[in-house]
């Protein structure tokens, strides 16, 4: 193979990757905005759906309705156990005579149950520590409201 043929083959081989990189650089702001709106996906250890749903839940809770204590971050690898333990505590409290206060709390309970289902059923479940802390905070806040309800 002569030098010109080698150069021509190298240019052909690099054309598509260079075009993709150029397009990503040109449209990087639009791609960044698009990536923040992803509702479900997995990239390495990140779970987009779980974290996106938690952010939406947290945004819908009025200020002061969540737990006043700072969310505790679980140890690495303990995400599933922390979520399941928080859910068991919440479920035990509601079954032990505690009543969910309002329609918003009932909806939050159902949504947290769905997120708990994701944690218990997905073998590759591994959300960020911040997402797990947010789940714990929402579950503890709901549990505190159930415990403070009259007749609880």
> Contact 88/140 with Cβ under 8 angstroms?
no
The pLDDT score that the predictor gives to residue 70 is: 42
The pLDDT score that the predictor gives to residue 26 is: 93
Per-residue tens of pLDDT for the chain, all 152 residues: 789 999 999 999 999 889 988 998 898 888 777 665 555 566 555 556 666 677 777 776 654 444 444 445 444 457 778 888 888 888 888 776 556 667 888 888 888 888 888 877 776 777 777 888 888 888 888 888 888 776 65
Backbone φ, ψ for residue 46 (5° rounding): -85, 135
User: Does the model's pTM come out above 0.85?
Assistant: no
Cα-based distances in Å from 146 to 61, 70, 135: 15, 19, 17
Integer Cα distance of 13 and 4 in angstroms:
14
1 Cα distance to chain centroid: 53
> Contact 65/145 with Cβ under 8 angstroms?
yes
Integer Cα distance of 100 and 9 in angstroms:
68
> Contact 122/49 with Cβ under 8 angstroms?
no
């Amino acid at each position: 193979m002569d030098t010109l043929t080698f150069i021509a083959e190298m240019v052909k081989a690099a054309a598509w990757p260079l075009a993709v990189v150029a397009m990503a650089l040109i449209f990087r702001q639009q791609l960044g905005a698009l990536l923040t709106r992803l509702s479900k996906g997995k990239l390495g250890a990140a779970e987009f759906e779980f974290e996106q749903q938690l952010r939406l839940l947290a945004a819908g809770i009025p200020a002061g309705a969540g737990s006043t204590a700072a969310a505790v971050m679980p140890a690495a690898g303990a995400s599933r156990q922390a979520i399941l333990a928080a859910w068991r505590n919440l479920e035990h409290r509601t079954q032990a005579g505690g009543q969910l206060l309002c329609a918003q709390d009932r909806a939050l309970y159902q949504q947290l149950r769905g997120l708990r289902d994701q944690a218990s059923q997905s073998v590759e479940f591994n959300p960020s520590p911040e997402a797990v802390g947010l789940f714990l905070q929402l579950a503890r806040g709901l549990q505190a409201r159930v415990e403070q309800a009259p007749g609880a």
